[in-house]
Structure 1
Amino acid sequence: MPEVPVSCFIISKNEGDRIARTIRSVRPWVREVVVIDSESCDDTVSVALSEGCRVITQPWLGFGPQKRFGEDQCRNDWVFNIDADEVVTPELAREIIATFADGDPKFVAYGMPFEMIYPGAATPRPMARDNWYVRLYNRRFTRFRDSNVHDAVVTDGYPVGAFRAPVFHYSMRSFAEMKRKLDERMWLLAKNADLSSKITLAARLPIELPVNFFKYYIVRRHWTGGLTGLRYASIQARFRFLKIYRMWRSANAKVGPENFAA
């Protein structure tokens, strides 16, 4: 594949069993791959080094700050961010390469679809529709948000280009891991949320679970995943309900987020 003037950076922690697949999906067409490792205790670092990456150890700063740190380590203004459980499809790689064929791309940022892969599967479910994120951008104009909770690229009103081909997202090794990660993330979101409106939170409690089930099962088309899709949508809905419940409980107890009980 032709090389484009792009630095790819990956944040990681204990991803030694799958980061090589991620690196190999970008290494042939980017100028460098930089891995920002959060003190892994497995072989993540040695795997990344063996794949030709530059590895920098950085204790965890929070989602946004960790990715902003990664941006700063890149040698090119054009950067591509991918997580250690994501894989660029060959079709997307070709789209990105074509964008640089005539010099600088038309837009300063580009988004792309992300399609989730169920545990044990090799390809997405039929008609997958999961997320759309900006991940290729010129850091001179736009960067990741400086937020401990959210890791989104802030485009500041710049027009954003769109790629059609997806990134495959192997977001969970198992459903047990999915539940653990969701529980951690929902606690984090609840602790950092605005607890000012108890009435609003109370009103959301009875509808949060069915609304989120509809979102994941119908809107994001997990119904095409059979029983696995039903299970996935149910777990997502449950933990998003728990987030609102935890926020409501905290607001009614008149305590700050730092006093949340486990």
Structure 2
Amino acid sequence: MRKVPVSCFIISKNEADRIARTIRSVRPWVDEVVVVDSESTDDTVSVALAEGCRVITQPWLGFGGQKRFAEDQCRNNWVFNVDADEVVTPQLEQEILAVFAAGNPEFIAYGMPLQMVYPGSAKPRPLARDHWYVRLYDRRFVRFRNSRVHDAVVTDNYPIGRLRAPMHHYSMRSFADMKRKLNERTWLLVENSAPGATGSIRLRLLSELPMNFFKYYIVRRHVMGGPKGLRYASIQARYRFLKIYRIWRTGRHKTATAASVSAPA
């Protein structure tokens, strides 16, 4: 198979049970696969090496920092970020091959949809509408934001190409695993939250749960996922509420109010 001049990079931590599937979805058609592992205690490294990847161990730098480090390890300027719980579909593979078929791509970055796959399911729900991310890009022009919490490519004012075919996202090993990950993520967001006004935080305590349930169940169409979709939307809404509740309980929202009171006129 003809390979495109693209380095695929994957960050990992204890992903031995699923990283091989991710690697196999890209290894045949990209120039190289680089795995940056943050000190896994399972067989992630040996699995990645067995799949023909170049593996680098790097202690955790935060979501954005780890991906920026991985960008620097790639030998090609064009890079493709895939997480260890994602799988590139054959349709997306063909779209990416077409981007490079004529030589230089038209855009300096391309975004694509990510579709959630529930635990125990083989494919996304019908009419899935989850996330859209820039993951294929020329690192000479755009890169991941250096953020401890967020991992998004900063595209500035560059026009972005849009790919239609999705990656499949096997984010949850189980719904219990989903709750564990959301709990950890929520505390991380609380610790890194910007201060907000007391009035707005109280309003969000009332609105966060129903608004997020509507967002996930109706807007993102988890209503099409049956009982699993209902469960997924309910868990997401609960943890979105818990983030606001924990910000309120820890008193982080008071910082902005105190600062505004003490500021000189």
Which TM bucket (shorter chain)? over 0.9
Alignment check: 8 A CA contact 1:189 1:243 kept: yes
Q: 1:250: how far off?
A: 2.2
Q: Deviations 1:158-186 (Å, cap 9, x if unpaired)?
A: 00000000000000000000000000101
Deviation of 1:254 after TM superposition, in Å, equals 5.3
Aligned to 1:134: 134
Q: 1:30 to 1:254 in 2, by over 3 A?
A: same
User: Moved runs in structure 1, 4+ residues, more than 4 A?
Assistant: 252-256
**Is the 8 Å Cα contact of residues 7 and 76 (structure 2) preserved in structure 1?**
yes
Q: How does 1:198-237 map to 2 (within 5 A)?
A: 198-237=198-237
How many residues align structurally?
A: 256
Q: Secondary structure at the match of 2:72?
A: helix
Q: Corresponding residue for 2:49?
A: 49
| RMSD over aligned Cα atoms | 1.3
- Structure 1: gaps spanning 5 or more residues: 257-262
AA paired with 2:172?
Answer: M
1:44-97, CA deviations, whole angstroms, 9 ceiling, x for partnerless residues? 000000000000000101000000000000000000000000000000000000
Aligned to 2:84: 84
TM-score (norm 1): 0.96
Q: 1:58 corresponds to which letter in structure 2? A: Q
| CA positional deviation for 1:251 | 2.6
Verify the 8 A CA contact 2:125 2:224 in the aligned structure 1. Answer: yes
Q: CA deviation at 1:190?
A: 1.2
Partner of 2:241: 241
Distance in 2 (alpha carbons) for counterparts of 1:232 and 1:135 = 25
Contact 2:114 2:133 in 1 (8 A): yes
Cα distance in 1 for residues equivalent to 2:112 and 2:50: 29
In structure 2, relative to structure 1, the CA distance for the partners of 1:63 and 1:252 (3 Å cut) is closer
Query: Partner of 2:55: helix, strand, or coil?
Result: strand
**TM-score, with structure 2 as normaliser:** 0.95
How far the C-alpha of 1:255 sits from its partner, in A, is 7.6
Deviations 1:164-211 (A, max 9, x none): 000000000000000000001011111111123111111111000000
Give the superposition deviation at 1:253. 8.5
- Tell me whether 242-251 or 50-59 shows the greater mean CA deviation: 242-251
Once residues 191 and 118 of structure 1 are traced to their aligned partners in structure 2, the CA distance between those partners, rounded to angstroms, is 29
Distance 1:109 1:252, change over 3 A: closer
Q: CA deviation at 1:2?
A: 1.9
Query: Which sits farther off after the overlay, 191-200 or 49-58?
Result: 191-200
**1:34 corresponding residue in structure 2:** 34
- Same amino acid, percent of matched pairs: 73
Residue 31 to residue 242, structure 1, CA distance change in 2 (3 Å)? same
2: CA distance, partners of 1:252 / 1:132: 31
- 1:53-132 aligned within 5 A: 53-132=53-132
